[in-house]
Amino acid sequence: LNKVFAIANQKGGVGKTTTAVNLAVGLTERRREVLLIDLDPQANTTSGLVPDTSIRASWVEAGCTTYEAIIGQMELRQVIRAVARSLFLAPAGANLVGAEIELVSIAEREKRLQAALAPICAQYDYILIDTPPSLGLLTLNALVAANSVIVPIQCEYYALEGLSALLRTISQVRDTLNPKLTVRGILLTMFDSRNRLSHEVAGEIRRHFPNQVFHSVIPRNVRISESPSHGLSVLEYESKSAGAQSYRALAAELDQGDSSSPDVQAIQSNVPLGSHELPKSESEKS
């Protein structure tokens, strides 16, 4: 059953955290029980859902964050908080950055999250893991624990930069630690319909990765960027906005999902050879 999704792309600012939070809430609107795991030391998923600094600090002080869960000082179930109806959060704090180093000397270091999740997996319909902007041990733990990867890509220049390194890492994880890992799909984010470049980039990505891109496209939408400061998903903050509707559509696409996930190698073989970026486009000339 495809239910544990890592949201990964080692580029920062492509919409991983935004997707983790809003997809999670989109799934709860569909009466699913969702666990969101914040595996990024920047902890933006956590602060976006729990804006109260003192509450977050108290979790760190009490040692109830994903850091302790992954290091093995705490059971994962002990750090999970109910943050909304049907929505549960394993919060991160800045201390998580230490895990990246400490894990190196811990046995089965890539399997810590997988092991932590195993006893509680069955309690949730979906588990979404937000990852840091790197391909280090935290992201590796997410890829080993997951059934499937969602790759947000920003509709911008250099959209595909770094994508082959990510796909190579996914392939290696599949060959070794997690044979069933698939790429569920590429998600086009921050699409600006008035910008020709956005259309060109989206078109190029769909050409390179036929059938591997989610139909749902996330528009660039100011409501999406405003919502975290209110401690809300965009679906709650501005329910009728284009941003909210796009994440609702994504949740439906995932949830109704045709279960066939595209093969990693099929995706990998489509990365344009010798370049990690898209061909120069018309609009660059203008």
Ligand X SMILES: Nc1ncnc2c1ncn2[C@@H]1O[C@H](COP(=O)(O)OP(=O)(O)O)[C@@H](O)[C@H]1O
Which residues would be at the binding site for ligand X (CB under 6 A)? 12-18, 44, 133, 189-190, 218, 220-221, 224-225, 243
- Closest to ligand X by CB, 74 or 189: 189
Span interacting with Mg ion, options 44-52, 175-183, 196-204, 260-268, rule CB under 5 A = 44-52
Span interacting with Mg ion, options 11-19, 67-75, 111-119, 188-196, rule CB under 5 A = 11-19
| Residue of 6, 10, 16, 139 that binds Mg ion (CB under 5 A) | 16
- Closest to Mg ion by CB, 40 or 204: 40
- Closest to ligand X by CB, 65 or 139: 139
- Closest to Mg ion by CB, 131 or 212: 131
**Shortest Cβ 108–ligand X spacing (Å):** 27
**Shortest Cβ 229–Mg ion spacing (Å):** 15
- Closest to ligand X by CB, 76 or 224: 224
- Closest to ligand X by CB, 44 or 233: 44
Number of residues that bind Mg ion (CB under 5 A): 3
**Shortest Cβ 173–ligand X spacing (Å):** 20
Task: For residue 189, state whether it binds Mg ion (rule: CB under 5 A).
Answer: no
Task: For residue 17, state whether it binds Mg ion (rule: CB under 5 A).
Answer: yes
CA angle 85, 62, 114 (to 5 degrees): 65
CA dihedral 171, 279, 225, 149 (to 10 degrees): -10
**Shortest Cβ 51–ligand X spacing (Å):** 14
Task: For residue 248, state whether it binds Mg ion (rule: CB under 5 A).
Answer: no
Positions that interact with Mg ion (CB under 5 A): 16-17, 44
